[in-house]
Structure 1
Amino acid sequence: MRHLISGIAISACMVFGQFTPASAQNPFEPVVYVNDRAVTGYEIDQRIRFMQLLGAGDTDRKAAEDALIQDRLRMFEAQQMGIQVSEEELDIGLEEFASRANMSAPEFIAALENAGVEYQVFRDFVEAGVAWRGVIRQRLLPAINVSDAEVDQALKQVIETPIVTRVLLSELVIPAPEGQEDQAMQLANSIVASNPSDAQFAEAARQYSAADSGRQGGQLEWVDIDNLPPGLRPVILGLQPGQVSQPLNVTGAVVLFRLRDSQGTLRPGAREQLLDYATLRLTSASEAASLAARSQSCADLYVQAGTASTRINRQTASQSAIPTLIATRLASLDADEASVVDYGGSADLVMLCSRQSALLAQDDSDVATTAEEPDGVEAAVPDQSGIPDRTAMREQLFNRKANEMANALLEELRADAVIRRP
């Protein structure tokens, strides 16, 4: 459960009435056992309210029970590995989580208690998370590796992804007058959980939305992303067409947005390439073609050329800086392929060594270059503005792999666990 409560969201949620457990019978009776560790009905009721305050997308009893089962599994595995959470580590974890709502831990705890959520619920949630970090650190992180090729591919994808400039949205504004905030949030969560189609979202907007757009199924006109409130932009930019945002708390309402479409432009230099290539002037096209046929790579070209290898000119340049005839030949080549430019009285053997997006070339070590200075790389590399550096991208990929492996481990633990009901 990673959704975090904002200062606005928690202040709106604080006006909710006192929490009434859904369990009519003894709420402290076990509902499910996870490796002989009980989960009670009261814990489930409390977790539901906690998840609602955090703005989780799905806050029904099944989701709350599943979340508690996962926490039991996390704690069980940590104990099996001898990992214990000290009071100091727990305090740091509580402060860290509360800071995401721009609060201290005592302020956050007081806000939760005012909304009917006990301190122990928050404590157990954070303790399970801290213990799970220890499991991941010991069991998974040593096995994670991010290669240079993976970093290059991820950066290439960023470069080739258009920067969104306009969006086509639908909105659904659910009234949340004082005393009815809980019901409005529950309705919003149920709509999000249903993963509505465009037609279903439009029907919900016509039925529930208090905005004028409700009569048109919530549909809005194209809007420039820069015209949206700064706090809303990352929410919208985080959506793919067809996705619905998590419920957003505003004064007197809960708002949903559905992204119908988006438009964007490629960043400057996205199509520009840096080519590492070699040329060798020979006396005839047939001689050049013969050498090209024998050479398997740029490194092999030096071997096959023999004494003529001293005349090989290898360089790195942007496409716009390469002579037209040679650039035309290079356009159709893959790495380590060669072609011939016939001038009649002489010919050039042209071999492509590598092809790279110019925006990926952040320093000389990232681009194959000649040994001699100057090699022209600096002039060929355009402005890096807007592109993550390699260190940041490597960290993103590392964290993504860690999350995927952690989720897989949790599923494995669940499959191996003894989960039973009374």
Structure 2
Amino acid sequence: MTYFLRSLILSITLLTPTLWAASGSKILLIVNKDPITEHDLAQRIKLITFSAGDQVKIGDSQKAEILNSLVQERLQLQAAKLKKIDVTSAEVDGALKDMAHDNNMTLDQLVALLKSNGISKETLATRIRAQIAWARYIRQQYAPVVYVSEAEAEKALQKMKIDKATKQYLVSEITLIARDQNQEAQLEASANSLIADLKSGAKFEALAQQLSKSSSAAKGGDLGWMAISQLEKAVADKVEKLSIGQVSAPIKVSGGYKIIKVRDIRHTGQTGPDDVEISFTQAIFPITPDSAPDEIEAMAPTIQKVVACTSPTEFSQRATACNAVVQNTSHVRLASMPDQLRQLVKGTPAGKCAQPVMTPNGLIVTFICDKRQPKPVIHTKDDVLGNLEQERFGRQAAREIQKLMSSAHIESKNETARRMLKL
């Protein structure tokens, strides 16, 4: 290699951080040569407050955990790249379209909504790309270790069949991983801050998707239905004491902390009145307690016509024509609904509207599309096998990210970032 070429390469290497800074955003950290900028941090903070709710208070501990998440995200993408794991733009767009569909929007509408809140599409796309790549990486690396035999699955299934009254818990998790033992106290403080946000009304699923280090983050932390015997002991001990809708205190586990939410509880092989599954459509009309009396009075006849609808299609069409935001929800178990919604829909028959409710966000009218009593839960060997695999992959993912963090070269370019991550 000529002296000129070596000099040129050296110049490019030395100039790279300066170019990033010159682009309008200062570099906070360099993670194995990949920069994290002030812009990256600001965008992720906006995404979290937008998706989880304004109840999230971004203090120093939250900023530290968000920055820590960005570091781990870089490491996940780097690890996947080394194994030639590629996530295409089409796959990311497909995941974004699914997300938009779940929120009754098109992809263009989702992107426009993000933009109106100061969030670029790429900010969300990067997070999704990392989640997909990391899930593939963990499966590729640990499939032989995580193998669950037919005999193991059959044994677990028979154990569940013996006790028909076995409780099952619909569980979600947020997993926080410490870089090393020195970070554990800071991590516990971050976990307590997240719990305070959740108690103030922040959305568990959104925080899990943005901050959790488990492979379940891609599904908003959802672990599905789990028996106590399928959970690690530290988690199982806490879950047994939680009621539907409750969130645990930080649970110390190997490598970090978990926050657990119990979304529902059921008994295997049994159903009761609270097991009824309800599908409903809600329309949110643009009038609030602060609206002028004349405005409310003017909309009253139109809303009365919507309330009088007798089919979901008619209800949606009339509500949409009144500029209401329409949302569909399918097959939600009565017991897992928030108290106010449960009381609202419990006595309303299918094909009718529940009593309209005025909220600070608008007037909400709920149309009951369908009510049905589900059949008793019957587990198959495949169900048990899937749960066992998921739990084992989750443990391996936590160990792997901690290993990557302990061996990473993280260079701080900012005193605040250095203090946040205790570098």
Q: Same fold (TM over 0.5)?
A: no
> If you compute each CA radius of gyration, which structure gives the higher value, 1 or 2?
1
**Relative CO higher for 1 or 2, CA cutoff 8 Å, sep ≥ 6?**
2
**TM-score, normalised on structure 1?**
0.42
Question: More helix per residue: 1 or 2?
Answer: 2
Tell me the TM-score normalized by structure 2.
Answer: 0.42
